[in-house]
Amino acid sequence: MDNIASLAAELGATLKARGFTLVLAESCTGGMVAQAVTSVAGSSAWFDRGFVTYSNAAKIEMLGVSAQTLEKYGAVSEVTAIEMILGALKNSHANTAGSITGIAGPDSGTADKPVGTVCFAWAGTTLPLSTTTKRFFGNREEIRQQAAIAMMAGLIERLRLMS
């Protein structure tokens, strides 16, 4: 967890230095990234809000993810991660966002999307949209932690490329 805490602090400093605010849309991590960033003193200066949209209904109702997207691509897809991030930006006052959707296990994996498959999106008003899918290994908690770390590291990397 020390890595998560240090990344959260680094992310906060990076956002604050650029005058950016963050919104998160999390599924498989269940708010783990939001919890990490709000553990940083002064995070109210750069963290707007987080959406924990674990169910498909929550993704549709809170973020405007299309039911057709969920049916065609599934909840664990880069297309869904994109719709989640766009909804998070639209429904917040933030200018920088990250979204995570995946399969933490131990069940629900398939041959096409095994346990540990996690899709990410990053975007913002000045941050170009980018996505990736990663495969993590370990137990449920380890997969969730790896996903949280990847989200924060991805945000830091993309923010630093802007300057």
More confident residue, 151 or 1: 151
CATH classification of 2-161, choosing from 3.90.950.20, 3.40.50.720, 2.40.50.140, 3.30.70.270? Answer: 3.90.950.20
Alpha-carbon span 124 to 107, nearest angstrom: 33
Instruction: For the chain, give every domain's residue range.
Output: 2-161
Confidence label for 163 from pLDDT (cuts 50, 70 and 90): low
Q: Above 70 in pLDDT, residue 91?
A: yes
Tens digits of residue pLDDT in 7-57: 999 999 999 999 999 999 999 999 999 999 999 999 999 999 999 999 999
Which residues have a Cβ under 8 Å from the Cβ of 123 and sit 6 or more positions away? 82, 85, 86, 89, 96, 97, 129, 130
Per-residue pLDDT tens digits for 45-86: 999 999 999 999 999 999 999 999 999 999 999 999 999 999
Q: What is the pLDDT of residue 162?
A: 79
Confidence of residue 1 (pLDDT cuts 50, 70, 90): low
